[in-house]
Structure formats: structure tokens, C-alpha cells
């Protein structure tokens, strides 16, 4: 299991996302999308990390950031891409 940590700056707001991926290729695809923009067209990637765990990653407490599977993050990202000029 792979985990991609993404931190975006969007004007004066900071957005943090954690995205799980099944393999390295999917994790790298998420990072490539994030380098273009976040889940808002104006959000710019300012920090990231990719982690690998031998077993499944299960979030236990997620207080102040968004947690997505790679397919859900990609779907939301594509909606932003299609709606931006």
C-alpha cells in the first residue's frame, strides 16, 4: 500500500490531503496530477511525500485533513480540470 501526502497553498488557505494507492505507478500518477493543481484550480502544491507500507494502511483518526483512495482523488481532480478555463 502506498500513501501520498499532499499539501497545497490556495491564496491564504492551506489544504492537506492523504491519498492511498495500490502501487507505485498509481502513487506517482497522483503526484503528477498534484503538480499541476489541487482540488481547486488555484491550489499549488507546496509539499509532498510518498510512503510505502508492506501491510494495508487504515486511518484511525483523521481530524483535519482529507483522506482519499487514488480513484476518488483522481475523479475529483478531473472535475476541477474540466471546469477550469
Residue-wise pLDDT tens digits, 12-66: 899 999 999 999 999 999 999 999 999 999 999 999 999 998 877 777 777 767 8
8 pLDDT band (50/70/90 cuts)? very high
* Whole-number pLDDT of residue 5: 95
* Whole-number pLDDT of residue 15: 92
CA proximity to 66, closest of 41, 35, 42, 39: 39
Cα–Cα dist 5/57, whole Å: 13
CA proximity to 53, closest of 7, 5, 17: 5
* Whole-number pLDDT of residue 72: 94
Write out the residue range of the structural domain in which residue 42 sits.
Answer: 2-83
Cα–Cα dist 32/23, whole Å: 15
- Our count of domains for the chain comes to 1
* Whole-number pLDDT of residue 71: 95
Amino acid at each position: 500500500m502506498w500513501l501520498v501526502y499532499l499539501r497545497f497553498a490556495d491564496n491564504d488557505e492551506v489544504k492537506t490531503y492523504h491519498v492511498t494507492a495500490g502501487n507505485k505507478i498509481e502513487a506517482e500518477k497522483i503526484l503528477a496530477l498534484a503538480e499541476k493543481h489541487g482540488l481547486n484550480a488555484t491550489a499549488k502544491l507546496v509539499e509532498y511525500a510518498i510512503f510505502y507500507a508492506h501491510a494495508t494502511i487504515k486511518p484511525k483518526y483523521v481530524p483535519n485533513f482529507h483522506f482519499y483512495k487514488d480513484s476518488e482523488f483522481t475523479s475529483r481532480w478531473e472535475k476541477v480540470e474540466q471546469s477550469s478555463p
